[in-house]
Structures are given as C-alpha cells and as structure tokens.
Structure 1
Amino acid sequence: MNLRHLKYFVATAESGQVSRAANALNISQSSVTGAIKELEATVDSELFHRSSQGMELTDSGREFLAASREILEKVDEAKKLTKRRSKVNGQITLAATYTVLGYFLPFHVDKLAQLHPGLDIQINELNRESIEDGLLSNRFDLAFVLTSNLSNPDLEAETLLKSTRRLWVPNGHPFLQSGKASFQDIAQEDYIMLTVDEAAHTTMKYWSKTNYQPKTKLRTSSVEACRSMVANGQGVAILSDMVYRPWSLEGKRLETVLTDLDIPTMDVGIAWRKGVEFTPAMNLFVDYFKASFVSPQMAQFSVRK
C-alpha cells in the first residue's frame, strides 16, 4: 500500500465514478481502476460496489475512507512543515460570492495561511453587484467571483477554473442508462431551480436556446436543498461539477448525466479594478492561484502596476 493507492481511492469515493476521479487527478481511468484493485487485494476486502451507475462504498470502504483521509491529511501537514514560509506581510481585503466562498475558497485560504502566515486575508461575502461596486470604490482589493457573470467594463478578471455543468439525477434514474439526456426529456421532469449567484438567470439563458422550458417545482438559493431534492427523487437540476457531491445530507445518492446540447461552463476567477496598483501581498495571492490553476508555462504572473 502506498499514498498513490489512498489518493486514488479517496478521489473515487468522493466522486462516485472512476471517470470523474481520473479527470480530477489528470490520469487515465485504467490507472485509477488498477490502483483500487491493488488496494483491495492488499487490505483483503471489497471497498466498492460496482454498477453501471458508478462506484458505491461498501461498509468496509466507508471505514477505510475515514482512515485514508486521516493519513493523507497528516502527510500534507508534514509537507507543509518542510516548506519555506514566505516573509511577505500584508492585508488583503477580499470579496467573494456565495458559491465561490462555499465550494472553492476555504481549502485555498487554509493553504495560503500555512504557506504565508504573514498574509492577512479579510473575506466578505456579497452578491456580484455589491462586489463590483466595492472594487470600483476601493473597498476591496480583489474579488473571487463567477467571471462569466461579470459585466462592468472598468473591471479586469482572470478566469482560473471552468466547471462543467451537468444534469443531476437521483440514483437509478432512467437517464443514467443512456448516459445522456435531451432537453426535450428533461423538460418532462420536475425541475429544481437554483437561484443564488444569478444561477436562475444563467439557466434560463441556455434553456432559451432550446424549444423547451423547465418544469420548475422549486426555486431555492440553497445548493444543499437542490442536492437533497434531487437525491430524494423530487426533481432534477443542472448544476456545476464544482458544487457536486454524490451524497445528500440524508445520505442518499445522486448522479450526474451529460446533456445533448452544450451548456456554458461556470467560470471562477479573480477580479480587480482596472489600473489598481498591486501590493506585494496582492501579487503573492494572485500568483498562488495562477500557479495552482494555470498551465506551468503560463504560471508566471508579472507584477502589476
């Protein structure tokens, strides 16, 4: 057993599918499948129930998942202790929308605190319009937003992540058999409409390009409500991979399916006011995200004036 086995196992357990785990790890599906088989042979126990819908943890698998996460967290902590810490000091006033703050930023804020203890990041959760106003009035240095929603020409933005939108369905839904769902068929299902961060507006934009309309059963600002409603068989929803988790709060499973028409990705990135002078702390912050999400040959981010 080695750390690679544990890493691949955890990724598969959290995503519920070998293909999604392979995409997240940027490796082949055969590598993930082989590692899991080796791990099961090593621990002499079946860790997953395999089906056409994906990979579901066995009772042994659930116990092993908790131990695997603990081991990987300890290793990560040990690595942090050996890294040279930055001597840059300074404060950054950061704004973020609900979705970005809830499903993207916390991991990276923690990592930045470990690598750069002198960096003081003050975070404010606001909607897009308030964030744009705050950047233009210099109340915020930087903002993490859905860059696909930005509209003010006096702001600049750097998109770091493009998250694919897929159809969420309950475990065992007929759409899973075909592996793809048409908008004509989706329109026959009850639809759970997320409203936070202009999600409803974005949803109707791509629905308007079809000849159909969603049969909306519930409009909600809660991603967790969407997840639970779908998992309980109360409807379907089209949401991004960034907010997807295979289990509802009640412990019920949900799956994702591609659609027959291309749906715009949910784009996440950093925004700032045009012409703003970047401090060393701001440069350090942006460089971290550029190095984490942009290809190596583009990871260098020049000092901004």
Structure 2
Amino acid sequence: MAISFKQIRYFVSTAESGQVSQAAVALSISQSAITTAIKDLEVELGATLFTRSPQGMELTAAGRALLFHAYEVLAKVDEMTAINLPGSNLEGVLRVAASYTVIGYYLPHHLGRLQRSFPNLEIQLFELTREAIEEGLLENRYDLAVILTANTNNPYLSKETHLSSKRRLWVPARHRLLSLPSVGLKEIAEEPYIMLTVDEAAHTSLKYWSNTPYRPSVRLRTSSVEATRSLVANGQGVAILSDMVHRPWSLEGRRIETIDIADPVPAMDLGVAWNPTVAFTPAMNAFRDYFREAHHIPIGRQRDHAAE
C-alpha cells in the first residue's frame, strides 16, 4: 500500500497539535479517521511515529525525521495547487503595510503564492505599528494593509476580516493543567504568566481578563513570540496566544501543549484594511480577492464595512 497524501496531512496535523482530538477539529474529520491513517502509515513505514500518552501524541525520532520530509511534500503540493486568479499578467507596484505578527507568521506563505500568480506585480512590504499603518493609509503612503482587524477601530478606514485564529492556553509538556477536565481563567490566574506585548497583545489580553474577577500573575512582559515560546516550553510560565503563532516545539526542542479555555476568549482576527476614499486599482482588487479566495470568502459577496 502506497503512502497517501491524506496520511501525510493527518500525520502533520497531529504532530503540530500534539493531540488527535485537536487535529480532528482542525481537519473537520473524525478522530478515528486520523488514528487509522497514522496506524496505517506506521505499518507502511515499519516505524513508530508517536509515543502515545494521556497528555497526547509526542513524536519519536522516526516521527521527527518524517515530519521534516512531510513539510517538503506539503510545500510542493501547495506550489502545484497555488491559487491562480484571473489577470496573472497584472503589472505595477502595490504598497502593502503590515504589523510584526502578520509579517512574521502569516504573510510569507501568501506572498509566495501571490508572486507565482502575479509575477509582474511588485509588492512593496512595510512593517509598522498599528498607528503608523492607519496614518499611512489615510495619507495614501500605502495602498492596503494586512492587519489584526480587531485592533483597528479608526472610523475613517474600511476593513475586512479573512481569518479568525483561535486563542488557547500554552503550557509545557506534562503540566498539571493538562490533567484537569476544564481550564478557565481562574485556573490560569494561579500560574505564572508570560505576557506578550507585541501588536497590542497585552491590551487585548486585559480586555477579556477584565470581564472576570481574575487577573494574570505576570512573571514577564516580552515583545518576542519566540521568547514566550521558549519560556513556556521550559516551565517558566503559561501564556494565551493564537493558533497562528503556535508551534509544537521550542527552539530547544521542548514540547508546547495547548488547552482550550473554558471562559470566553476572542480569536485573533486578521484581514485587509484600506482608505475608502481611494479608488481600488486592478492590483488592489487582485490582492484583496486573493485573500478572499484563500479563505473561501465568496468574492462577489460584499463584506466591506467602515471600521466603527
């Protein structure tokens, strides 16, 4: 029996989430389908890919080696199936502003696809704070921006959300909270907390904490996602961050688990913003329509709205 693309996808999703249940949710399939696919893959390869425990699925040495090659396979398939919107001969320059998180964890993959779809379109990228992005759009220094849309409430700008990335609790492997049937902000407040500050993350965090009688016990504030990742993985605290920036391993190779939070915690919304007084050019339309199609938003459906 040959290895199937489905098996590779299921394996990668399980490796990244560390739990069959979370992989099943992410792929919108049953847990049994993932379990069967991984077992068949292990039989085909003649190797155990995961160590199974009550805390989840941890990659073996063979599993880590396979994950490296699996990423290469998925990247090649992604190139082969890259989105091709009408007008691939589009030419010109498009000035796009974006924040740190967007550039670091969201845009690179899409910029590669856009370059393949529109090889004659030059996209000039600018990393800025939210305030600088808003000012630049209003002064027409930038054509469009890719932003955390929930952070932008400028009444003179329009925005459109394309992706909502769920926020979960990050904990190190074998953390005590993994054994609890339910984890809310009350339980999280009892742990040392690593507060990420970049892209107004601390401000967003305090919004949902303020709706409860609990407060995070902040051990450290940092603007670095990678520092947060390593600190959590090494048992120095916990953090609430979005799935978009989650990776199952720290730079030191230590495991990071995620837990769904019982209390309401908003997702991290990403999308495109622009100055509504500026007429859309073909390049601007192509850029926005690319993200609509990438996230399965009907292009003909009017979702534009002024930020309130």
SS across alignment from 2:271: strand
Structure 2 distance, partners of 1:67, 1:84, is 33
Are 1:51 and 2:50 an aligned pair? no
CA contact 1:287–1:300 (8 Å) conserved in 2: no
Aligned to 1:230: 232
Structure 2 distance, partners of 1:301, 1:113, is 25
Structure 1 distance, partners of 2:202, 2:266, is 13
Aligned to 2:158: 156
Structure 2 distance, partners of 1:42, 1:12, is 18
Structure 1 distance, partners of 2:163, 2:287, is 16
Structure 1 stretches of at least 4 aligned residues deviating more than 4 Å after TM superposition: 78-85
Aligned to 2:19: 17
Amino acid at match of 1:223: V
- Displacement of 1:35 in angstroms is 1.3
Out of 89, 95, 118, the residue aligned to residue 116 of structure 1 is 118
Please, which moves more after superposition, 159-168 or 14-23? 14-23
CA contact 2:79–2:113 (8 Å) conserved in 1: no
Please, which moves more after superposition, 170-179 or 193-202? 170-179
CA contact 2:149–2:161 (8 Å) conserved in 1: yes
CA contact 2:85–2:286 (8 Å) conserved in 1: no
Aligned to 1:89: 91
**C-alpha spacing 1:106/1:64, structure 2 compared with 1 (3 Å):** same
Deviations 1:148-202 (A, max 9, x none): 0102101000001111111111111111112431222211211101000111111
SS across alignment from 1:238: strand
Map residues 230-249 of structure 1 onto 2, 5 A cutoff.
Answer: 230-249=232-251
**C-alpha spacing 1:55/1:85, structure 2 compared with 1 (3 Å):** farther
User: How many aligned residue pairs are there?
Assistant: 301
Deviations 1:59-93 (A, max 9, x none): 11111222222233334444559999811112110
Please, which moves more after superposition, 251-260 or 219-228? 251-260
Amino acid at match of 1:144: V
**C-alpha spacing 1:179/1:128, structure 2 compared with 1 (3 Å):** farther
Out of 24, 32, 35, the residue aligned to residue 34 of structure 2 is 32
Out of 249, 252, 256, the residue aligned to residue 250 of structure 1 is 252
Aligned to 1:188: 190
Are 1:289 and 2:291 an aligned pair? yes
**TM-score w.r.t. structure 2 length?**
0.92
**C-alpha spacing 1:205/1:19, structure 2 compared with 1 (3 Å):** same
- Displacement of 1:275 in angstroms is 2.4
Map residues 64-75 of structure 1 onto 2, 5 A cutoff.
Answer: 64-75=66-77
**C-alpha spacing 1:83/1:155, structure 2 compared with 1 (3 Å):** closer
Structure 2 distance, partners of 1:93, 1:63, is 40
Structure 2 distance, partners of 1:157, 1:221, is 25
Structure 2 distance, partners of 1:9, 1:234, is 29
Structure 2 distance, partners of 1:264, 1:131, is 23
CA contact 1:191–1:236 (8 Å) conserved in 2: yes
CA contact 2:194–2:228 (8 Å) conserved in 1: yes
Deviations 1:237-264 (A, max 9, x none): 1111111111111111111112221111
SS across alignment from 1:180: coil
Aligned to 1:128: 130
Structure 1 distance, partners of 2:118, 2:22, is 32
CA RMSD of aligned residues (A): 2.0
CA contact 1:287–1:301 (8 Å) conserved in 2: no
Are 1:211 and 2:213 an aligned pair? yes
Amino acid at match of 1:138: N
Deviations 1:203-255 (A, max 9, x none): 11111111121111100000111111111111111111111111111111111
**TM-score w.r.t. structure 1 length?**
0.93
Out of 145, 148, 167, the residue aligned to residue 146 of structure 1 is 148
Amino acid at match of 1:120: E
Aligned to 1:267: 269
Structure 2 distance, partners of 1:165, 1:234, is 20
Unpaired segments ≥5 residues, structure 1: none
Unpaired segments ≥5 residues, structure 2: none
Amino acid at match of 2:225: V
SS across alignment from 1:106: helix
CA contact 2:50–2:60 (8 Å) conserved in 1: yes
% identical equivalent positions: 55
Amino acid at match of 1:255: E
